[in-house]
A and B are shown apart, each in its own frame.
Chain A
Amino acid sequence: MKTVYNLIIKDLIRLKNDKPALLLSFIVPMALIIIFGNIFGGGGPRGRVAMILVNESNSPVAKLIESKLDTVKSLYVIKTFLSDDRKDTFKIDEQKAIELIKSGKSSAAALIMPKDFFTDTSTALKFKFYFDPKNDIESALIQGTIQQTIMSHAPRLFPVLITRQSLKFIGQDSTAKFISGFGKLIGEFFNVPIDSVIKSMTIVDSASLYSTSLNTASSANVISNLVKFENEQLVGKEVQNPGLTRTVGGWAIMFLLFSLTGAATSLFEEKQEGTLKRLLCMPVSRAHILWSKYIYSMLFGIFQLLVLFFFSWIIFNVEMFSNFLNLLIMITVSAAAAVSFGMLITSFAKSMNQAAGISTLFILTMSAVGGSWFPTSLLPDWMQTISKVTLTYWSVDGFLQVLWRQAPFSAIALNVLVLLTISLLINLYALVRFNNNKTL
Chain B
Amino acid sequence: MLKINYVDKHFEKVTALQNINLSIEKGEFFGLLGPNGAGKTTLMNLIVGYLTPDSGSISFQGELVASDNLNVRKKIGFVPQDISLFQEITAYQNLKIFGKLYELDNKDLSKKIDEVLELVRLNERKHDIVKEFSGGMKRRLNLAASLLHDPPILLCDEPTVGVDPQSRNAIFDMLYNLNQNGKTIVYTTHYMEEAERLCSRLAIIDNGNIIAKGTLVDLINLMEQKETIRIQKTAATQSKIESLNLIGTVNEYDFYYELIPNDSFNQHSKIFKMLEENGIPNQFIQIGRANLEDVFLNLTGRSLRD
In the complex, the answer to whether B49 meets A281 with C-beta atoms within 8 Å is yes
23 contacts between A and B (CB under 8 A): A273-B85, A273-B87, A274-B82, A274-B83, A274-B84, A275-B84, A275-B86, A277-B50, A277-B80, A277-B82, A277-B84, A278-B78, A278-B98, A278-B145, A281-B48, A281-B49, A281-B50, A281-B80, A283-B74, A283-B103, A284-B101, A285-B67, A285-B70
A217 adjacent to chain B (CB < 8 Å): no
In the bound complex, what is the Cα–Cα distance between A286 and B68 (angstroms)?
9
CB distance from B74 to the nearest CB of A (A): 5
> Are B101's CB and A283's CB within 8 A?
yes
Q: Which residue of B70, B76, B84 contacts A278 across the interface (Cβ within 8 Å)?
A: B84
**A307 adjacent to chain B (CB < 8 Å):** no
Nearest Cβ on chain A to B14's Cβ, whole angstroms: 15
B277: min CB distance to chain A, Å: 58
Q: Nearest chain B CB to A144's CB is how many angstroms away? A: 54
Apart from A283-B73, A284-B73: 18 A-B pairs, beta carbons within 8 A: A273-B85, A274-B83, A274-B84, A274-B85, A275-B84, A275-B86, A277-B50, A277-B82, A277-B84, A278-B80, A278-B98, A281-B48, A281-B73, A282-B101, A282-B102, A283-B70, A283-B103, A285-B70
Does A413 reach chain B (CB closer than 8 Å)?
Answer: no
Tally of B interface residues using CB under 8 Å = 24
Is B234 positioned at the interface, with any CB of A under 8 Å from its CB?
no
Residue A170 is within 8 A (CB to CB) of chain B in the complex:
no
Most chain B CB inside 10 Å of its own CB: which residue of A277, A279, A286: A277
7 closest A-B pairs by beta carbon, nearest first, are A274-B84, A278-B84, A283-B70, A281-B48, A281-B78, A274-B82, A283-B74
Contacts of A275 in B (CB 8 A): 84-86
B71 within 8 A of A: yes
What CA separation (Å) do A283 and B86 show in the bound complex?
18
Task: Give the most central of A273, A277, A280, A283: most B CB within 10 Å.
Answer: A283
Q: Pick the contact of A283 from B45, B50, B71, B145 — CB < 8 Å?
A: B71
Closest to B44 in A: A281
Q: How would residues 261 to 305 of chain A score, 1 for a CB under 8 Å from any chain B CB and 0 otherwise?
A: 000000000000111011111111110000000000000000000
Give chain B's interface residues, CB within 8 Å of chain A: 45, 48-50, 67-68, 70-71, 73-74, 76, 78, 80, 82-87, 98, 101-103, 145
Q: Output the nearest chain B residue to A287 by Cβ-Cβ distance.
A: B68
- CB of B267, distance to nearest CB on chain A (Å): 55
* Interface residue ranges of A234-284 to B (CB < 8 Å): 273-275, 277-284
* B-side contacts of A281, CB under 8 Å: 45, 48-50, 73, 76, 78, 80
CB distance from A374 to the nearest CB of B (A): 38
- In the complex, are the beta carbons of A282 and B103 less than 8 A apart? no
Distance in angstroms between the alpha carbons of A30 and B103 in the assembled complex: 52
Q: How far is the CB of A32 from chain B (nearest CB, A)?
A: 33
* A278–B101 CA distance with the chains assembled, in angstroms: 11
Inter-chain CA distance A182–B71, complex, in Å, is 102
A273 to B145 Cα, complex, angstroms: 15
Residues of A close to B103: CB separation below 8 A: 283
**How many whole Å from B10's CB to the nearest CB in chain A?**
14
CB distance from A282 to the nearest CB of B (A): 5
A274 vs B78: C-alpha distance when bound (angstroms):
13
Complex Cα–Cα for A208 and B58 (A):
97
Q: Which residues of A contact B86 (CB under 8 A)?
A: 273, 275
Q: Which of B78, B84, B87, B98 has the most CB of A within 10 A?
A: B84
With A280-B50, A283-B71, A283-B74 in contact, is A274–B80 under 8 Å at CB?
yes
Contact with B along A206-236 (1 / 0, CB 8 A): 0000000000000000000000000000000
